Amino acid sequence: MSSTTVEPNSVAPGPTQVAPQADGTGVPSYSLAPKVTAAGAVEGELLEVSMGPQHPSTHGVFRMDVVLDGERVVKLKPVFGYLHRNHEKIGENTTYLASMPYTDRLDYFCSMTNNWAYALAVEKLAGLQVPERAEYLRVILAELTRLQNHASLGGFLLQDMGAMGTPLMYAFREREKILDLFESLSGARMMCNYMRFGGCRCDLPPGWVEQAKKVVNDFPGFLDEFETLLNENEILMARTQGVGLLPRALAISASVTGPMLRASGVNYDLRKVDKYGIYDRFDFRVPLGEHGDVYDRYMIRILEMRESLKILQQALRDLPEGSIIDPKAKLRGFRPKLGEAYGRIEAPKGELGFYLISDGSPNPYRYRVRAPSFINLTILEDMCLGHIVADAVIILGSVDIVLGEVDR
């Protein structure tokens, strides 16, 4: 008589599905059927639940249609589209520059990196050269954005697990310091609208670099505090290790990018692959996971914050003087030559890309966004199959989505 060993926090797959394994085996079956006993009798029945909100940012704009066998997930469908604002169609009916503030409202946690990806695509179309000082400013602002995004994700993930208040408030305390820097530079805390084609909108105010250095120098103390509180916490480890496995092969075939992909052991970071901007000048590592579970996705973001601090220390130390925008850049009457371009960056959530086609007019002929939140969300069901419904909540939290970017 054979026996089946069930790891803690996992549920043995039933006859209607097979949970994906870390080695890529296990192909789920999406057919729904009640459990049948050895004698052929029907045992129990499936329950379909419209579930939400599960997360602080999914209030009314996202839900999961979950089919449950008891508490075990046998089918899951993410339902979104409630925050769709015609971003891409608006981009085709307004000037290139007028679309810049709209990019702030995609992933509204990361407006600086949204600006950079769009500016990069337009610069390829128009053949603009970004001055060295502006390149350094872009790197500094992008890595500060990565810090506040990953810190917030850690707080939200713990909130999803039931750790009410403390981790999230610790994270937001540090995020506020970075938003203070953004506000003093751009005039806005979240919708910064700071990048311009060929450079940046304005130079640094007096004292900004010193303030930024203080934030960067103090941040490791927060990370030490955060990791001491959480990394070896018994409840966090029990709820996240072995939960929400994303096999390497599935992550690649589904075009998953960012920390989720690297948590599955895939060494792919556009800062190293494309070396866009001036990232080839900086010494930093790309952390990789081994298992591809929720714990790995949490730890990858912690480790990436450590690497971002290294980049920031180098960039703030080497920041040169000089112009912040290409003198050939035209803000009014801007008409790039005929052609197409795709600009992409390693945003905090993954590969953020803008595809533009120019017909020589003031507006793009075609405007398309490759949003990492949207693409990373497509494998939510694969990660949740076989887990209990409480695990589905933290698996979603580990994806790190913002609905403004999912729906656009």
Chain segment 288-301, per-residue pLDDT in tens = 988 888 999 999 99
Mean pLDDT along residues 187-207: 88
Percent pLDDT > 90 in the chain is 25
Instruction: Give CA angle at 392 (389, 397), nearest 5°.
Output: 145
Token pair, residue 394, equals 């933290």
Residue 79, pLDDT score: 85
What tokens does 229 get? 């509180």
Beta-carbon count within 10 A of 301 CB: 26
- pLDDT range class, residue 181, cuts 50, 70, 90: very high
130-143 average pLDDT score: 92
pLDDT, tens only, 88-97: 888 889 988 8
Label residue 58 by pLDDT band (50, 70, 90): low
Res 140: pLDDT: 93
User: Can you give the pLDDT at residue 9?
Assistant: 44
pLDDT averaged over every residue in the chain: 84
Task: State how far the Cα of 152 lies from the Cα of 150, in Å rounded to an integer.
Answer: 5
Which is more confident, 22 or 287? 287
Measured between alpha carbons, how far is 373 from 354 in angstroms, rounded to an integer? 14
Given a cut of 60, whether residue 404 has pLDDT beyond it is yes
The reported pLDDT for the residue numbered 137 is: 93
Query: How far, in Å, are 127, 153, 221, 252, 337 from residue 290 at the CA level?
Result: 41, 20, 27, 15, 46
Distance of CA 51 to CAs 47, 56, 105, Å? 12, 14, 26
Distance CA 375, CA 238 (A): 28
Enter the tokens of residue 408: 């656009």
Q: Is the pLDDT of residue 361 over 60?
A: yes
Q: Which amino acid is at 388?
A: I
Res. 138: pLDDT tops 90: yes
Region 168-185: what's the mean pLDDT? 89
**DSSP track, 195-245:** EETTEESSPPPTTHHHHHHHHHHHHHHHHHHHHHHHTT-HHHHHHHTTSS-
Q: What is the pLDDT of residues 4-43, one digit of tens each?
A: 343 444 444 444 445 555 555 555 555 555 566 666 665 5
Across residues 237-246, what is the average pLDDT?
86
CA distance 335 to 11: 58
